[in-house]
A and B are shown apart, each in its own frame.
Chain A
Amino acid sequence: MALQDVSQDVGQPKVAIFNDPKVRGWVYQVVLLVAIVYLVYAGVQNMFANLAAQNIASGFGFIGRNAGFAISQSLLEYSQAESSYGKVYMVGLLNTVSIAFIGVILATVMGFIIGISRLSHNFVVRSVATIYVETFRNIPLLLHIFIWYFGVLRLLPQPKDSANLGLLGLLNNRGWFAPKPIPQELFFLTAAAFVVGIVLTFVISRWARQRQGKTGQQFPTFFAGLGLIIGLPFVIFLISGLPLVFDYPVAGAFRPKGGMTVIPEFMAMLLALSSYTAAFIAEIVRAGILAVDKGQTEASHALGLRSGPTLRLVIIPQAMRVIIPPLTSQYLNLTKNSSLAVAIAYPDLVSVFAGTALNQTGQAVEILGMTMLTYLGLSLLTSAFMNWYNARMALVER
């Protein structure tokens, strides 16, 4: 832009106002802005004029109307008899968010393990990791999804010979029918103990870090935390008289009744998305670790740290600065790739809202606009979080 102001360095020669680079710069910017605003306005006007001319319904009135179709997985209370298109949107959004969230966590864990394995001194581990990365990275995601889906369906038994997992419920090709926990009156005590445990662990780890900074004495934070977060609620749970009953699924005429269901579409989608993205994350992790100077490893070995602590305390924290920015892109990719779910009937936002709801209302502009804004919002939220995390991990120079 023409905003660079060099006139001050050479004194103040007299120039006409329209020759002043500063004024000119501003004028150009304003003209461009007006042009852009007009362009958008004209485009939108044009669209509405065309829609009206072709007698195509428009507006957001459909949001409140009854949708009338069933959805196979819903985290909200959804009934085909009463729920509106607005509810369909929420159900689809939650299904997208849940698959993306769990997928991101799984992909990160898998990606780190494989990425570190690729640098292993063990030949077999290294080769397996390399083969994994090269295979998964180089096959299109849609194929992964189909392979996992039809693979999962073929492997799982028919409902009439469901695999009985005992305490874990039933498994067949209609999904995993897990026992549904139903909290009783006193269960809130256990939940409260869980929250207290998390808070206490946080406090203790802060205190332990400060003490180690001052005195060098270590404190077993990990085990203390484990005890507080899992042990404490468990004890309370026992004392308060096991206030939790399980609704076990029972075999029905078609699929088991009762319990809660994880549909095979969800399993296949999760496996496909996380295994595919993990291959990319593995490469990012490997690159990040290789970016840390070899001297760092040698120095920490010289200080007497073994391989594990060296990796955990010296290498990874420095590698994270290289890893986080490309990792963010992978998270965004995974979230957006989840829209391929429509191919295997997982009811995500694109499938139920930009698919069925769009087809039934015919309001393509509104529905696709909402869907695009939603993905944009999800992506911006993810990158905002990752930028915050990146800033925290950045090298603080003293």
Chain B
Amino acid sequence: MTRKILSAIVGTAVLGLAAGTASAATLDDVKGKGSLQCGVSQGLPGFSNPDQDGNWSGLDVDFCRAVAAAVFGDSSKVKYTPLSAKERFTALQSGDVDVLSRNTTWTMSRDTALGLNFSVVNYYDGQGFMVRKDMGINSALELSGASICTNTGTTTELNVADYFRANKMDYELVAFEKADEVVAAYDAGRCDVYTTDQSGLYAQRLKLKDPGAHVVLPEIISKEPLGPVVRQGDDQWLNIIKWTHFAMLNAEELGVTSANVDEMKNSDNPSVKRLLGTEGEFGGAIGLSNDWAYNIIKEVGNYAETFDKNVGPDTQLGIARGANAQWNDGGLQYGPPIR
């Protein structure tokens, strides 16, 4: 009996202590652990996808590597946590991951009601539809009455609902927990349409039995700004995430690549000097060393390099830069100046 009371008291004490550890400096945690814990998808070619040996690659993975390069000077110090669409926010809230880099759409409710902060947009996307070519459908407006396969726990469910409602069309929604089952069910003919972010459609199409027999319809029915997410209440960490992306954008704009970054250190251009830390003390202001951006570019590359390597026109996905081009090239990517 006494032992029971004792354990009850100990239990209460432990609970009481747990209340105090709600927020701490993520940067210190990461440095203490010696690696960055990064939440990624369960396998989306081009964004975050493991190969046979368990090595992750993709645009979102490169972002994690860039953060690790900025913090440690070593882009390999990342551990990946594959998360389903449903689990991702809870994993970040509870501190299981330090940053969520998992093709996650920035919406107001996610940014405000979940205790999370969206940082930047590293890929401008929009939701699209994929159908079989032999159905002879050229526009999403011909889809009234169709069965639509998608993932649960995503904004796509709501976008489809809005789109079909606005166009007074009827549909059947078949929502699976994992993307692999969505692909399998669509491939087995359960649905006429597969909907998700357009980049995802191009990526998942590669997993179909006959990718050539499917076509992505031209309509984009939503804005899907995808980007990394962090917990609220840690401005320093938020700044590191933001400026990691901006450093990659500025590097592209200034023509600094992983190949020429060492030469560029001797550049006379003051913007390049500030970026690579040969002038000013910008790294210290966000709690990092002064060569933080140099490490990112040296180890991972600038934005154009990661884009072209993972999703660009020469990859299997074959996605054009489009909205993700630099601002002076007709796109939306715009890195604020480092000064």
Interface residues of A (CB under 8 A from B): 2, 28, 31-32, 35-36, 38-39, 42-43, 46, 49-51, 53-57, 68-72, 80-81, 149-150, 153-154, 158, 173-174, 252-255, 257, 264-265, 342-345, 347, 351, 355-356, 358-362, 364
The secondary structure that dominates the B interface is mixed
**CB < 8 Å: which of B12, B143, B178, B233 contacts A38?**
B12
The distance in angstroms between the C-alpha atoms of A171 and B314, with both chains bound, is 44
Of the listed stretches B2-10, B32-40, B208-216, B271-279, chain A binds: B2-10
With A158-B189, A356-B157 already in contact, the answer to whether A70 and B113 are too (CB < 8 A) is no
Q: How does the 8 Å CB contact mask read for B119-144 relative to A, with 1 for contact and 0 for none?
A: 00000000000000000000000011
Q: Mask for B163-182, Cβ within 8 A of A = 1, else 0?
A: 00100000111111110010
In the complex, what residue of chain A is closest to B85 when comparing beta carbons? A359
Question: Across the interface, do A49 and B19 meet the contact criterion of CB distance under 8 Å?
Answer: yes
Min CB distance, B26 to chain A, in Å? 13
In the complex, what residues of B have CB within 8 A of residue A72's CB?
172-175
A351 CB contact (under 8 Å) in B90, B113, B175: B175
B23 and A54 form a contact (CB under 8 A): yes
Pair A56/B85 contact, Cβ less than 8 Å: no
Task: Tell whether A31 pairs with B5 under 8 Å between CB atoms, given A42-B16, A150-B184.
Answer: yes
Contacting pair A173 B177 (CB below 8 A): no
Q: Kindly list chain B residues whose C-beta atoms are within 8 Å of the C-beta of A56.
A: 93, 113-115
In-complex Cβ contact of A360 among B23, B158, B233 (8 A): B158
Residue of A nearest to B11 (CB): A39
Which residues on the B side are within 8 Å of A49 (C-beta)? Answer: 19
User: How many B residues face the partner with a CB closer than 8 A?
Assistant: 57
The reply to whether A362 and B109 contact each other, CB–CB distance below 8 Å, is yes
Beyond the given A55-B233, A70-B171, A356-B152, could you list 8 further A-B residue pairs with CB under 8 A, ordered by the A residue number?
A35-B12, A69-B158, A150-B185, A158-B189, A342-B152, A344-B176, A345-B185, A358-B153
Q: Taking the nearest CB of chain B, how far is it from the CB of A167, in angstroms?
A: 24
Chain A minimum-CB-distance residue to B162: A68
| Nearest-Cβ distance from residue A302 to partner chain B, whole angstroms | 58
Q: Which residue of A lies closest to B148 (CB)?
A: A70
CB<8 Å pairs between A and B, sample of 22: A2-B1, A35-B5, A35-B9, A35-B12, A39-B8, A39-B11, A42-B16, A46-B18, A46-B19, A50-B19, A55-B115, A72-B174, A173-B189, A173-B190, A257-B145, A345-B176, A355-B152, A355-B177, A356-B175, A358-B86, A362-B110, A362-B113
Q: Are A362 and B114 in contact (CB under 8 A)?
A: yes
A345 near B5: Cβ-Cβ < 8 Å:
no
B190's partner among A31, A35, A153, A253 (CB-CB below 8 A) is A153
- A51, A81, A154, A355: the one within 8 Å of B153 (CB): A355
C-alpha spacing A220/B192, complex, angstroms? 55
